[in-house]
Amino acid sequence: MTLPRFEEITIGQQIPPLTTGPVSRLALALYAGASGDHNPIHVDIDFARKAGMPDVFAHGMLSMAYLARILTGWVPQSALRSYLVRFAAITHVGDVITCSGRVVEKFVQDGEQRLRLQLETVNQDGETKLSGEAVVALQ
């Protein structure tokens, strides 16, 4: 993977997005196992209802992992300096999630040419689920 050239990057430039299939209960079960997050609220509807939720819902960190794929799909992971998200709304079973990012700042720090990216995930209705940012170094 070759790094994008800093001087060719423009503010507002989008990085390649990705859209997932509808979030399935199987996806939540697999993520529970793979992540080690066994909170039953994501996989056990009986537990979720007792906790006052209408259904199980996705782990926020599953969406954060989806969103990370557009970063590591665009630059090598070693270029990633920071990555932060706020979980704005619950991602529900059946949601189709689109992950996107765009360059909002170019700057030099610690001798590195860096980009700040604004990131978000939205569902099929355009509702923002995660919003965040990442900093990548292009050297």
Partner 1 sequence: MFDTQHIGRALTPFSIEVEAGRLRFFAKATGQADPVYIDESAARNAGHPALPVPPTFFFCLEMESPKPAEVRELLGFDIGRVLHGEQGFSYHRMAYAGDRLNFAGRIVDIYEKKGGALNFVVVETAVTNQHGQPVADLRKITVVRAAPTPGA
Residues that bind partner 1 (CB under 8 A): 1, 20, 27, 30-31, 33-37, 39-41, 47-48, 50-52, 59-62, 64-66, 68-69, 71-73, 76-78, 80-87, 90
Q: Which is nearer to partner 1, 11 or 34 (CB)?
A: 34
As a whole number of angstroms, the distance between CA 106 and CA 25 comes to 40
CB of 105 to partner 1, least distance (A): 17
Pick 23 or 103: Cβ nearer partner 1: 23
Quick one: 12 or 111, whose CB is closer to partner 1?
A: 111
12 vs 21 by CB, closer to partner 1:
21
From the CB of 126, what's the least distance to partner 1, in Å? Answer: 21
